[in-house]
């Protein structure tokens, strides 16, 4: 018999339809939300590499040396020009950073190799390279000041993050991704990964013994007194990274060159270089510091940072993670005052710390770096932790080997 029941069965109850519609709408909403997020809201970082030419500069080989004052001054001028150009452009929100990586002089001028970072949502990114190019082109056309730049020499291309990092890691004294923050050795605070990529731990029979600084892919500098017990390379290893124990990776020592005028038990000429058995590939958290020129003047009052795994206070405990402490350069005269070191500080040494005491390097920091950033925020090794009367005592700041005084000695031993 005919029963019209199925018809009523096929129409779903209203609540169920509402539920289905609601579910579909919710899923659609999530998908649209995610799309908007990834395409229009979430920022991605883009890296670019390029070059342009400054034409009215006579050939000067000093531009070939990355640490020369000539290189730093010209680079700074060009870097300022780039910051100004991008910050007053329509890309000012996307602009993160721009740097001169290298200068290449020739008979018709100096070519500047540059490196840029921008941040933009995917949807906005299209056309960014052309926009950057046109901003730089305009900048090169405007000859403000005495420099003449050639807009037609401009080259620009997008590169990967890995290649961008490679470029900075190959230059001295730069950090891959760092905004240095001092929150809190003695009176210091824990360093972040990659903050002091040149810092090495020199280990004697596997135990941290001294600090050292990487100055090339094979050489380090440290203190001569670190080898007072033995200078057999076989007894030493070198490690990097913020954690001293267990080390992330060990490197072996081929040769130890101690300053020929260093005398055991005395403080002068406290410097040595270490040659590793193999070249180290540079990475974000392992690369070299810049060496200052012999003629560089280190001004008293300037801020510097000392880093190491040394004792947290005199005769105290040792940290596992690398410590950093902000210090100030102290002039040799005050450091030689009667109540201070009473004439013991020679002009091949450098005092840094505070006459009031408290923040200082300590035992186990020896051989490690005292660094400061120049006006381009590039880090230079100005001192090597050498000696002091205990740690952080009033009127007894840290005394360091003055690197500028040994710059030529380092060159004569390493070719760097
Ligand atoms: N000579 C000590 C060492 O072997 C470090 C001296 C640094 N002292 C200081 N107060 N800054 O580790």
Please write the tens of the pLDDT for every residue from 222-277. Answer: 999 999 989 999 999 999 999 999 998 899 999 999 999 999 999 999 999 999 99
Mutate to test the pocket of ligand 1, among 224, 387, 395 (most ligand atoms within 8 A of CB): 387
Strand, helix or coil for residue 109? strand
What is the distance in A from the centroid of ligand 1 to the CA of 362? 5
- Ligand 1 contact, 365 CB (< 6 A): yes
- Ligand 1 contact, 369 CB (< 6 A): no
C-alpha 251/C-alpha 292 separation (Å) is 26
Is 378 in contact with 173 (CB distance < 8 Å)?
Answer: yes
Q: Which atom of ligand 1 is nearest to the CA of 310?
A: 12
pLDDT value of residue 37: 75
Give me the phi and psi of 183, to 5 degrees please: -100, -75
* Model confidence pLDDT, tens digit, residues 17-70: 889 999 899 999 888 888 877 766 688 899 999 999 999 899 999 999 999 999
The residues that are catalytic are 225, 270, 366
- Ligand 1 contact, 222 CB (< 6 A): no
Closest by CA to 132, choosing from 79, 102, 89, 161, is: 89
C-alpha 125/C-alpha 29 separation (Å) is 24
What is the distance in A from the centroid of ligand 1 to the CA of 298? 21
pLDDT greater than 50 at residue 6 = no
pLDDT value of residue 4: 47
Paired tokens of 104: 């290449």
Paired tokens of 184: 């809190």
Q: Is the peptide bond before 246 cis (omega within 30 degrees of 0)?
A: yes
* Model confidence pLDDT, tens digit, residues 278-302: 999 999 999 999 999 999 999 999 9
- Ligand 1 contact, 383 CB (< 6 A): no
What is the distance in A from the centroid of ligand 1 to the CA of 399? 8
What is the distance in A from the centroid of ligand 1 to the CA of 365? 6
pLDDT bin (cut points 50, 70, 90) of residue 177 is low
Could you write out the three-class secondary structure of 185-244? Answer: CECCEECCCCCCCCEEEEEECCEEEEEEEECCCCEEEECHHHHCCCCCHHHEEEECCCEC
pLDDT value of residue 143: 79
- Ligand 1 contact, 387 CB (< 6 A): yes
pLDDT greater than 50 at residue 179 = no
- Ligand 1 contact, 368 CB (< 6 A): no
Work out the end-to-end distance of the chain between its first and last CA atoms, rounded to an integer number of angstroms: 104
- Ligand 1 contact, 388 CB (< 6 A): yes
* CATH architecture, range 178-416: Beta Barrel (2.40)
What is the distance in A from the centroid of ligand 1 to the CA of 302? 21
Mutate to test the pocket of ligand 1, among 265, 335, 365 (most ligand atoms within 8 A of CB): 365
pLDDT bin (cut points 50, 70, 90) of residue 16 is confident
Residue 29: Cβ-neighbour burial (10 angstroms; 0-12, 13-18, 19+): exposed
Count other C-beta atoms under 10 Å from residue 173's C-beta: 23
pLDDT value of residue 10: 61
C-alpha 357/C-alpha 397 separation (Å) is 7
Is 222 in contact with 214 (CB distance < 8 Å)?
Answer: no
What is the distance in A from the centroid of ligand 1 to the CA of 416? 27
- Ligand 1 contact, 391 CB (< 6 A): yes
Mutate to test the pocket of ligand 1, among 362, 389, 400 (most ligand atoms within 8 A of CB): 362
Paired tokens of 373: 């950033």
Segments of the chain assigned to CATH 3.30.70.960: 43-169
Q: Write the CB contacts of 174 (distance below 8 Å, at least 6 apart in sequence).
A: 168, 287, 378, 379
Is 200 in contact with 212 (CB distance < 8 Å)?
Answer: yes
- Ligand 1 contact, 169 CB (< 6 A): no
C-alpha 326/C-alpha 305 separation (Å) is 5
Share of the chain above pLDDT 90, in %: 82
Mutate to test the pocket of ligand 1, among 188, 210, 361 (most ligand atoms within 8 A of CB): 361
Q: How many helices (H) and strands (E) does the chain have?
A: 8, 17
- Ligand 1 contact, 242 CB (< 6 A): no
C-alpha 378/C-alpha 373 separation (Å) is 5
Strand, helix or coil for residue 86? helix
Q: Is the CATH code 3.30.70.960 the one for domain 43-169?
A: yes
What is the distance in A from the centroid of ligand 1 to the CA of 304? 17
C-alpha 208/C-alpha 310 separation (Å) is 9
Q: Write the CB contacts of 268 (distance below 8 Å, at least 6 apart in sequence).
A: 261, 262, 346, 348, 349
Segments of the chain assigned to CATH 2.40.10.10: 178-416
* Model confidence pLDDT, tens digit, residues 99-145: 999 999 999 999 999 999 999 888 777 789 999 999 999 999 987 77
């Amino acid at each position: 018999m005919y029963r019209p029941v199925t018809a009523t069965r096929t129409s779903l109850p209203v609540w169920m339809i509402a539920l289905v519609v609601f579910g579909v709408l919710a899923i659609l909403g999530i998908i649209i939300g995610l799309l908007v997020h990834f395409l229009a809201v979430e920022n991605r970082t883009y890296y670019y590499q390029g070059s342009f030419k400054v034409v009215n500069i006579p050939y000067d080989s000093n531009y070939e040396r990355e640490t020369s004052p000539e290189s730093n001054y010209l680079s700074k001028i060009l870097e300022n020009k780039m910051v100004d150009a991008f910050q007053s452009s329509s890309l000012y929100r996307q602009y993160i950073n721009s740097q001169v990586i290298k200068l290449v002089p020739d008979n018709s001028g100096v070519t500047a190799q540059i490196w840029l970072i921008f941040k933009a949502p995917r949807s906005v990114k299209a056309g960014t390279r052309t926009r950057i190019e046109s901003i730089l082109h305009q900048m090169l056309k405007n000859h403000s000041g005495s420099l003449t730049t050639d807009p037609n020499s401009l080259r620009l291309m997008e590169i990967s993050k890995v290649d961008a990092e490679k470029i900075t890691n190959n230059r001295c004294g730069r950090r891959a991704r760092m905004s240095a923050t001092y929150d809190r050795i003695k009176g210091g605070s824990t360093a972040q990964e990659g903050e002091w990529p040149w810092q090495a731990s020199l280990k004697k029979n596997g135990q941290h013994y001294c600090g050292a600084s990487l100055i090339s892919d094979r050489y380090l500098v440290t203190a001569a007194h670190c080898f007072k017990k033995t200078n057999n390379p076989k007894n030493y290893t070198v490690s990097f990274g913020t954690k001293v124990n267990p080390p992330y990776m060990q490197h072996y020592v081929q040769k130890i060159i101690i300053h020929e005028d260093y005398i055991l038990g005395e403080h002068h000429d406290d410097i040595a270089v270490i040659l590793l058995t193999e070249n180290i590939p540079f990475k974000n958290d392992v690369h070299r510091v810049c060496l200052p020129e012999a003629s560089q003047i280190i001004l008293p009052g300037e801020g510097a940072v000392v880093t190491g795994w040394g004792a947290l206070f005199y005769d105290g405990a040792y940290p596992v993670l690398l410590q950093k402490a902000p210090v100030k350069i102290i002039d040799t005269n005050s450091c030689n005052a009667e109540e201070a070191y009473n004439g013991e500080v020679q002009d091949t040494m450098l005092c840094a710390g505070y006459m009031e005491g408290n923040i200082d390097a300590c035992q186990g920091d020896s051989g490690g770096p005292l660094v400061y950033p120049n006006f381009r925020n590039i880090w230079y090794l100005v001192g090597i932790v050498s000696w002091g009367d205990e740690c952080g005592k009033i009127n007894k700041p840290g005394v360091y080997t003055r690197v500028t005084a040994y710059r030529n000695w380092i060159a004569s031993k390493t070719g760097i």
